[in-house]
Amino acid sequence: MTKRILSLVLSLIVSASALAQNATRPDDQKKNAATDLQAETQKVSNEEERAIQGQIASVYQNFFNSYRLGAGDVVAIYVDKHPEDSVQRVAVSPVGQVYYPLMGNVTVAGKTITQVQEFFTTAIAEYIKDPKVTVSLLEAQSAKIGVLGDVRSPGVLLLTRPMRVLDAITASGGITEYGSSSNVTVLRQFEDGRVQTFTVNVKKILQGKANPEENAYVRAGDTIIVHGNTFKTVSKVSSMVGITGLITFITRGGR
């Protein structure tokens, strides 16, 4: 009988020890919950950043594909395996031409980079067999603004006329259903590198409740951000390398 009791007691002790080892203390539960929350927050943050960087890359690509050269723009003309016939840097003259040693002055104003590249490839073929020509836009000096975030067509707009914040958003297709019309930020970079931000309530402008100065005119180099699902907080967005690079490009013309 004594042996049976002793055996039962030992069995209970072993079981209790196993339960104690498997049980999670309240402090551990809190730590695990905090770790899970941190991991989920980081995952969301990474997804947001990827979305923003993806939009910026698309904006650059669309701009370079559609941009038409004008006076003051700077391009490079590279001929593969022929450095002596390549031009590292040449500006478009006030009359819309660039000087290329093999051909003299060539009119490029009003043409896209793709069109200029096709022209040089064909023209250089008279001097070099099957040339591989690449024309790159180094600096775009035309007055530009950027419109990003939850608009239907984010991108870079050329300032061909005076535009207010609402005009720029309208030219970008308007605000999507995910964007906040009451939370629009304008980023303005100055020559010394400082960036000024101010908020525009487009909802009030559309309702006719805003003061005239609230629908301000944009300046060359401004970047308008419509917050929503893609761009949530200006403090986070304005510190991103992609955004700061885009602002510099819009302000100064070169990447």
Distance of CA 225 to the CA centre of its chain: 10
- Look up residue 174 and give its amino acid: G
Same domain, yes or no: 116 and 151: no
- Please indicate, yes or no, whether the overall pTM of this predicted structure exceeds 0.75: no
CATH code, domain carrying 224: 3.10.560.10
What is the SS3 assignment for 199? strand
182 shares a domain with 108: no
Here the CATH number for the domain that contains residue 100 is 3.30.1950.10
Note the pLDDT of residue 251. Answer: 79
- Look at residue 8 in the predicted model and tell me its pLDDT: 46
Does residue 105 lie in a domain region?
Answer: yes
Tell which of 139, 155, 185 closes a domain: 139
The predicted structure's pLDDT at residue 15: 52
Q: What is the pLDDT of residue 179?
A: 93
Would you state the pLDDT for residue 233?
61
> Tell me, what's the pLDDT at 75?
97
Among the candidates 139, 166, 196, a domain finishes at 139
In the chain, which residues have pLDDT < 70?
A: 1-44, 232-242, 254-255
Domain count, the chain: 2
Strands of the sheet containing 133-139, edge to edge, are: 87-91, 74-79, 133-139
Q: Vertex 246, ends 235 and 199: CA angle to 5°?
A: 40
CB 231 within 8 A of CB 148: yes
Which residues touch 188 (CB under 8 Å, ≥6 apart)?
A: 195, 196, 197, 198, 219, 221, 222, 223
CB–CB of 156/63 below 8 Å?
yes
Q: Is 200 helix (H, G, I), strand (E, B) or coil?
A: strand
Instruction: Please indicate, yes or no, whether residues 156 and 207 belong to a single structural domain of this protein.
Output: yes
Q: Residue 130: its pLDDT value, please?
A: 96
Q: Which domain holds residue 204?
A: 142-252
Mark whether 147 and 103 lie in a shared domain: no
